[in-house]
Structure 1
Amino acid sequence: MYLPSMGPKRAQLFNKELAIFTIKDLLYHFPYKYIDRSRFYYIHEIDTTLTHIQIRGKITDFQLLGEGRNQRLVAKFTDGQSSIELVFFKGLKFVLQAYQLHTDYVVFGKPSLFNGSFSIVHPDIEPYKEEAKMGFQPLYHTTERMKSKYLNSKAVQKLIHLALQQINLSLAETLPTYIIQKYHFVSLSEAIANAHFPTNMALLERAQARLKFEELFYIQLAILRQANKLKTSFKGFQFTHIGDMFNGYYEKCLPFTLTNAQKKVLKEIRNDVRGAHQMNRLLQGDVGSGKTIVALMSMLMAIDNGYQACIMAPTEILATQHFETIHAQLEALPLTVELLTGSTKKKERERIHAGLLDGSIHFLIGTHALIEDTVKFQNLGLVVIDEQHRFGVAQRAKLWNKNTRPPHVLVMTATPIPRTLAMTVYGDLEVSVIDELPPGRKPIITNHIFEDTKRESLNRFLQQQISLGRQIYMVFPLIEESEKIDLKNLTDGYQYMRSIFPDLSISMVHGKMKPVEKEAAMQEFIQHKANILVATTVIEVGVNVPNASVMVIENAERFGLAQLHQLRGRVGRGADQSYCVLVTSRKISNETRKRLEIMTRTNDGFEIAEADLQLRGPGDLEGTQQSGIPFQLHIANLARDGAFVQLGRECASEILNGDPQLSKPEHAILLLELKNKKKEQLNWSIIS
């Protein structure tokens, strides 16, 4: 059975284009914007700042202009003081029949400026009624394909109106009565109706508060139930004591004194791994905050208790760097550390496989090669995953399945995750934060320059830094859609630097190079054989060259905030003052200007992460678009609705503390709704 005016063909379009299958789906397709139609403008008040206007008046004349396909209908509309043209390119006969001259109408639409005069193309026209209260007009997302079949925002609005009439405000409640009363929420039916057709702002805000809370509350309820299940269902290996390896490293090998934040996080990890259940912990910290040292010391806890440990990194460069750093730091201890990547030769691979099985290899560091079926451990006790978002759930599970009992899991992120996102995307993990940099680090000085005016002074500055024995990164964007142009920009930049600094050694690295060539270029720079490294963002994550003190980012307008901060984090790792120079063209958007202002103002990764979430929204943040979020978001926005995320988590936590199984009669509704939402999400995953 279809809604009036829907029919099977239209229904199919809604299925394919918007994943709308039921009346409930349609009712949860909320407006993306509302236009205040309680106000009328005079025609002479129209200016370019108004996106939509509503005017009252009369049509005084119709004129058909042009011929054939180019024919258009122009209606002259006046409010008694001024006049404006209403222009129609389609449905000309209908317009001529439907609207009468010298009759009072309300016209609503988008004003366009052409040759110094305003007109409105295909406006909404309704008879004026003195008693009518226009309220807010909802605007709905559709697609180009739907619009070509006359299913625009207005058509969706009419269908939703019909759907609301059909259900007659009798939607089954989805929250327990005591929660609705506690937070003074409106009923679900009232919330849905006013989310689509509010007559004033107060009603809209109350409707949105109810619906946003509900969405985020159920996400938190699902996440916290999953977290409780992880804590109690999976028996972990108990690391009962701290032994010679941990103490030996702490006393003989530690390259610097641990910060208080690092000590605090190590205590949290220690408490987890000596318990009877599997650890699942997220380790957050700014670039250069010392996450790797914490991970290494956690791995030594595993070794002291007779277990093996591994680190899985997203790239060969990062895996190799972890290997070299850890290998060098553990030289004084009787431990075997090995590296396994896609480039590892067959004979070497077989030797590593044998060492893992007989337990003679204590640490394994590698890439995706670690999850191959042929890689088997004697006793894997701890897995460290660097750069969580680059590994899927199935890949992580493969590591867990290498044991009869799942190992402890420590997940590290390269840059801080905004709090609301961490509570949602990583809500089933315990979170540790290193919010302190090692002592002696100088804040990086960041400047923004325009490419057409400051290039010479930049070159003089680079020359000065090189004369002090420092090294320089010069990074160019490389985006798939314009790969050839970007590669040319990179090679042109390389040639330009060679012409400016003919006596210097300059290396180049980009994603199109063979792994061996890339590695050779990187090693030249790491070993200080090259003064300047011209590169794409392949150097974004993890590369550590303490002598590099300048990061020049070309076309900085083409990078997001998180990526700019990540690139900047490649410098500032030694005792010398470091610099980041953001080079852009003069033509940049306001949003880009905001990004660059934030970069020049602060080095705090947590502040930058929050700003990035506000500017871009959660859907754009790498690796977070719906991944890790248990249910689809229809109305809530993780960037703007942090207060509802927090409230939802507090409420869900309180319920589960008192009723972990949701077995109380008043919580039956919660179990039912979780089940329904799980079904809905399955449909979404099938569609996508």
Structure 2
Amino acid sequence: MRPAILFPLFADTRSLAGVGPRLEKLIATVAGPRLKDLVFDLPVGVIDRSYRPKLIQAQEGRIATVTVNVLDHLAPRVKSQPYRVRCTDDTSAIELVFFHAHPDWLNKALPIGSQRIISGRIERFNNRLQMPHPDYVAAPGEDMPLHEPVYGLTEGLSGKVLGKAIRASLEKVPAMPEWLDPAFQKQRRWPPFADAIKKAHAPVHEDDLAPTTPERQRLAYDELLANQLALMLIRKQMRAANKGRELKGDGRLKSKVLAALQFTLTDAQQQAVAEIEADMASPTRMLRLLQGDVGSGKTVVAFLALLAAVEAGAQGALMAPTEILSRQHLAALEPLATAAGVKLALLTGREKGAPREALLQALADGEIDILIGTHALFSDDVAFKDLGLVVVDEQHRFGVHQRMTLQGKGAHVTDVLVMTATPIPRTLALTAYGDMDVSRLLGRPPGRQPIETRVLSSDRLGDVVERLRSAMAKGARAYWVCPLVEESEKVDLAAAEERAKELTATLGPKVGLVHGKMKPAERDAAMAKFKTGEISLLVATTVIEVGVDVPEATIMVVEHAERFGLAQLHQLRGRVGRGSGKSSCLLVWVPPLGETAKARLACLRDTDDGFVIAEEDLKLRGPGELLGTRQSGQLEFRMADIAVHGDLLAAARDDAGLILSRDPDLKSPRGEALRVLLYLFGRDEAVKYLRAG
């Protein structure tokens, strides 16, 4: 049950005076449906109205608050003209300009002969001072804020109306029970929660909006602490509810695969395998994230984990986001599976009819040891005899519900290994994957070649084509990536189909094309020709971003590179440098080049460390866009900016762990206060777990 102290803040915004159905919807768009949402809607700017000059001294372009006498009203002769009110002080004159005016209101607010205080931006038109639509018109003695917070708005919602609703909501904020450690709070010199939230809504200068102010740091820490507590509590709940099973392999299949490999596992790979095998052998269900840079050898680690499940008498599933990637996994792993005597199979949306039925029957009978596939693995008719381990590749492309559906395919509780080739900054890993154990594959396997990266303007496109001509004549293979499939009248970007035609005309018939709109069979045929060398240059969209492995490819050209994200460019670059040949990546940009795009391209040119790139990407794009969560609704922080508050996140994680080690059910006085915190920041799943416990 929600703590009584929070009842006022969980009231609907409709409960505020002057907020009807229309305003309620508008406020919900920018903040949310409850008063606490308004309280958490922090200012994004501040208007300083303390500049109070005489009219003769008023500076053009500044917001000024001036005391004037109303001389007369000049109503427009035609509707297209503005309504003007002429005013003076003892030094000069000014016209107040109103478009689409309401004369009755203006005559009441600005009666001729009265003295008024007006505030707004000073402009000059035909060498006369004017103030279009003053922000405030008040009689002497009436209240007018010297400093006014600015909030994000939507069409139909004015700053005055939203500000009034927020001020009314702030009056409902009670003195909260303190959930912070007293010594920690004193060390940081942070105010109590109620004081912090009210001061955050009362900025005086731009500096007061910084995420490093004491009040904003306090609020950010509160939100991060709630997040970390919730993750730990939910993780504890999941482990308590799902005791798991012990999957102990005997190493017989693993030894055969290691003998068949062309290389020795790196120290990082061996450590990751050991961590995964220990998790699988324990009675607790495994939920582990395997992070690795492009080419770090994640697939081999995942396959060894799947073999451990098979050794223990269970089956494994490897799920990939695209058919190309799933078929790539099959092709890469089949030789190793053959060496170990393990039965692999592939299930995608392409398998239909009798072949599909035969495959499903073999799966249900346990004749298939490891099934590789796409979303087709979610189908209701897909049944395993005994699913022990699920490996999910490129997890950020799958929803949590999809992952949970596949876990439910097992007759017993299923272990889960999530792997991603998009390195995740530590701060994001703690917030988005805090319910998982993490293994990181640092470095690359022996034999991986460094990739020379160059940044070129599009006016050198001719030089790029000539370099390709020379390289292709020597037997080289190359990718040319475009952002679009076909020409668009709305967006002037290079189109893959058009570029393929132009390059074929210039370089000859050894140019191929692959994109997501092609039929799977056509796409596979083009990829096969590129792999065998029948095609030397493959023009493509980002369909080749992950999982495409052609060691002979040594050149990557990315056209309109300024339109791609850092992580995506890093993934594309990772398609080359996979063999023994010297490799290069050419990032071609089209002017004008913005500062953010320039920073992205410079980062790619200067480093090939995916974890360094991920940290830079976090700074440039923010957490929501980096994880693709703007649309999915995951990782929503209102107080915290984890690109800035990384140290606070680490402290919150440590604090949450210490709290739960001492008070696992949050029943101490501080624990009761922390329950209030969890409710306040909407961590309902954790609260439900505590209530059930």
Please confirm whether the aligned pair reaches a TM-score higher than 0.5, indicating the same fold: yes
Q: For the Cα contact (< 8 Å) 1:56–1:128, is it kept in 2?
A: no
CA distance in 1, matches of 2:608, 2:228: 31
Structure 2 residue corresponding to 1:88, chosen from 95, 98, 104: 98
**Relative to 1, partners in 2 of residues 1:155 and 1:405: Cα closer, same or farther, differing over 3 Å?**
same
CA distance in 2, matches of 1:480, 1:213: 47
Q: For the Cα contact (< 8 Å) 1:59–1:103, is it kept in 2?
A: yes
Structure 1 residue corresponding to 2:332, chosen from 316, 325, 329: 325
1:334 aligns with 341
| Cα displacement string for residues 411-439 of structure 1 (whole angstroms, at most 9, x for unaligned residues) | 01121112211111111011111111122
Structure 1 residue corresponding to 2:623, chosen from 611, 618, 643: 618
Question: Is 1:185 aligned to 2:190, yes or no?
Answer: yes
Q: For the Cα contact (< 8 Å) 1:241–1:304, is it kept in 2?
A: yes
Q: For the Cα contact (< 8 Å) 2:494–2:559, is it kept in 1?
A: no
CA distance in 1, matches of 2:483, 2:348: 26
Structure 2 residue corresponding to 1:596, chosen from 588, 594, 601: 601
| Structure 1 position 81, deviation (Å) | 9.0
CA distance in 2, matches of 1:173, 1:408: 40
Letter in 2 for 1:277: T
| Structure 1 position 330, deviation (Å) | 2.9
1:138 aligns with 149
| Structure 1 position 365, deviation (Å) | 0.7
Q: For the Cα contact (< 8 Å) 2:65–2:120, is it kept in 1?
A: yes
SS of the residue corresponding to residue 439 of structure 1 reads coil
Worse-matched range after superposition: 300-309 or 197-206: 197-206
CA distance in 1, matches of 2:252, 2:123: 77
Worse-matched range after superposition: 541-550 or 586-595: 586-595
1:686 aligns with none
Letter in 1 for 2:34: T
2:217 aligns with 209
SS of the residue corresponding to residue 300 of structure 2 reads helix
| Cα displacement string for residues 215-255 of structure 1 (whole angstroms, at most 9, x for unaligned residues) | 111011000112223344322232334421111111x2122
Question: Is 1:294 aligned to 2:301, yes or no?
Answer: yes
Equivalent positions of 1:16-35 (< 5 A) are 16-18=28-30, 20-35=32-47
CA distance in 1, matches of 2:577, 2:71: 71
Question: Is 1:248 aligned to 2:260, yes or no?
Answer: no
SS of the residue corresponding to residue 519 of structure 1 reads helix
CA distance in 2, matches of 1:480, 1:646: 46
Letter in 2 for 1:69: K
**Relative to 1, partners in 2 of residues 1:514 and 1:4: Cα closer, same or farther, differing over 3 Å?**
closer
**Relative to 1, partners in 2 of residues 1:347 and 1:476: Cα closer, same or farther, differing over 3 Å?**
same
CA distance in 2, matches of 1:182, 1:675: 26
Q: For the Cα contact (< 8 Å) 2:83–2:101, is it kept in 1?
A: no
Equivalent positions of 1:111-510 (< 5 A) are 121-125=132-136, 136-144=147-155, 147=156, 151-165=157-171, 167=172, 170-173=174-177, 175=179, 178=182, 180=185, 183-199=188-204, 205-250=213-258, 252-451=259-458, 453-478=459-484, 489-502=495-508, 504-510=509-515
2:572 aligns with 567
**Relative to 1, partners in 2 of residues 1:97 and 1:518: Cα closer, same or farther, differing over 3 Å?**
same
Letter in 2 for 1:342: G
| Structure 1 position 23, deviation (Å) | 2.8
1:685 aligns with none
SS of the residue corresponding to residue 465 of structure 2 reads helix
**Relative to 1, partners in 2 of residues 1:589 and 1:199: Cα closer, same or farther, differing over 3 Å?**
closer
Equivalent positions of 1:44-83 (< 5 A) are 53-54=63-64, 56=66, 58=68, 64=74, 67-74=77-84
1:659 aligns with 663
1:512 aligns with 517
Question: Is 1:550 aligned to 2:555, yes or no?
Answer: yes
**Relative to 1, partners in 2 of residues 1:308 and 1:187: Cα closer, same or farther, differing over 3 Å?**
same
2:120 aligns with 108
Q: For the Cα contact (< 8 Å) 2:486–2:495, is it kept in 1?
A: no
1:674 aligns with 678
**Relative to 1, partners in 2 of residues 1:56 and 1:676: Cα closer, same or farther, differing over 3 Å?**
closer
Letter in 2 for 1:175: W
| Structure 1 position 21, deviation (Å) | 3.2
| Structure 1 position 460, deviation (Å) | 1.7
1:9 aligns with 21
Q: For the Cα contact (< 8 Å) 2:326–2:372, is it kept in 1?
A: yes
Q: For the Cα contact (< 8 Å) 2:513–2:538, is it kept in 1?
A: yes
Q: For the Cα contact (< 8 Å) 2:74–2:84, is it kept in 1?
A: yes
SS of the residue corresponding to residue 629 of structure 2 reads coil
**Relative to 1, partners in 2 of residues 1:253 and 1:114: Cα closer, same or farther, differing over 3 Å?**
farther
Letter in 2 for 1:223: L
Worse-matched range after superposition: 131-140 or 418-427: 131-140
Q: For the Cα contact (< 8 Å) 2:266–2:445, is it kept in 1?
A: yes
SS of the residue corresponding to residue 221 of structure 2 reads helix
| Cα displacement string for residues 358-399 of structure 1 (whole angstroms, at most 9, x for unaligned residues) | 222111111111122222222211111001122222221222
CA distance in 2, matches of 1:681, 1:65: 60
Question: Is 1:533 aligned to 2:533, yes or no?
Answer: no
1:640 aligns with 644
- Long gaps (5+) in structure 1: 683-688
Q: For the Cα contact (< 8 Å) 2:482–2:542, is it kept in 1?
A: yes
Q: For the Cα contact (< 8 Å) 2:486–2:498, is it kept in 1?
A: no
SS of the residue corresponding to residue 340 of structure 2 reads coil
| Structure 1 position 138, deviation (Å) | 1.1
Q: For the Cα contact (< 8 Å) 2:318–2:392, is it kept in 1?
A: yes
Question: Is 1:98 aligned to 2:109, yes or no?
Answer: yes
SS of the residue corresponding to residue 484 of structure 2 reads coil
Letter in 2 for 1:406: V
Letter in 2 for 1:71: Q
Q: For the Cα contact (< 8 Å) 1:477–1:537, is it kept in 2?
A: yes
SS of the residue corresponding to residue 454 of structure 1 reads helix
CA distance in 1, matches of 2:72, 2:548: 70
Letter in 2 for 1:419: R
| Structure 1 position 647, deviation (Å) | 1.9
CA distance in 2, matches of 1:589, 1:202: 28
Q: For the Cα contact (< 8 Å) 1:55–1:79, is it kept in 2?
A: no
| Structure 1 position 493, deviation (Å) | 0.7
| Structure 1 position 162, deviation (Å) | 3.2
| Cα displacement string for residues 296-327 of structure 1 (whole angstroms, at most 9, x for unaligned residues) | 11112212222211100011100000000000
**TM-score relative to the length of structure 2:** 0.87
| Cα displacement string for residues 535-571 of structure 1 (whole angstroms, at most 9, x for unaligned residues) | 1111111111111111111122221222112211111
Worse-matched range after superposition: 99-108 or 595-604: 99-108
User: What is the alpha-carbon root mean square deviation over aligned residues?
Assistant: 3.5
CA distance in 2, matches of 1:576, 1:454: 25
CA distance in 2, matches of 1:44, 1:608: 51
CA distance in 2, matches of 1:462, 1:41: 67
| Structure 1 position 58, deviation (Å) | 4.8
Worse-matched range after superposition: 7-16 or 308-317: 7-16
Number of residue pairs aligned between Structure 1 and Structure 2: 667
Letter in 2 for 1:635: M
Letter in 1 for 2:39: L
